[in-house]
Structure 1
Amino acid sequence: MFDRGFSRVFQGASFLALDAKGRLSVPARHRDALGASHSGQFTITKHPHGCLMIFPLSEWEKFRERIASLPMQAQWWKRIFLGNAMDVAMDATGRILVSPELRKAAGISKDAVLLGMGNYFELWDAATYAAQEAEQMKGEMPDVFKDFSF
């Protein structure tokens, strides 16, 4: 982790199980950084691809400003992102509560995949993510990768 003014970049996949109350244990590799640099405060909202986005509070504030400034023709997207946003706090044991409404929207009942996506996380139902990934791997890569060297 960098403490020299660099933003924390979240990456990697974690396979997790939500408990009976819908709480998600934040993986240890992210927990300390999120607690120290973001006070353990998050915002969770819907993602248009069927998962949830989990933002540390400071990143959510940037995203929220960008969404709020969109023109009227994006009003439904504002409703999806802002109207479904829920603020949560990490508890003393490193868990965050995912509301029943958001769990239902993403089809998450127990097994989940948490993906670090740079400045936020995506939370997927594990079976849905596996199916989506398998489907993507069957197809061709998007044109943006044509000149990309692996």
Structure 2
Amino acid sequence: MNVENIQLNFAFMKATEGLGLTDKNFKYNWRNAKKQGIARGAYHFFIASQDPAKQAQHFISKVKLSPGDLPPVLDAEQASILPVNAFRQKIRTWLTIVETHYKVKPIIYTNADFYKKYLGPEFNTYPLWVAHYYEKENPASTGNGPFGNTMTEAM
């Protein structure tokens, strides 16, 4: 795909959310990305108030990775009313199940403030995709800690 001299080489698409939601366009998008030769990845929107193991199994039941596919992504942007330690334990559960199944370390997608407040250094070994909301040009990054080697996204 090439639009206005911008070449699209990869795409992440929403696969699942929580315990039961599957994006209605996921199968179509997943299949057609492969047909078009676009490296594809899938993400799960995490619902903190729901069982993380069941969320991981829901994601696994919908996403079949093939050679060349990108690692799975956990979209963690809401902690609900959970204490930080309880939230971290739930995130660890999802990540461990998904990593064990696919044999690749998942990527964590979140914003920098949420990462610092709710995740922190114990998740520094995971690839991190940092959302920089409302910064269209040159999103800022701290350049130290987990933010020195991250993917960034301006929204």
TM-score for both structures, normalised by structure 1: 0.26
RCO comparison, higher one (Cα < 8 Å, 6+): 1
TM-score for both structures, normalised by structure 2: 0.26
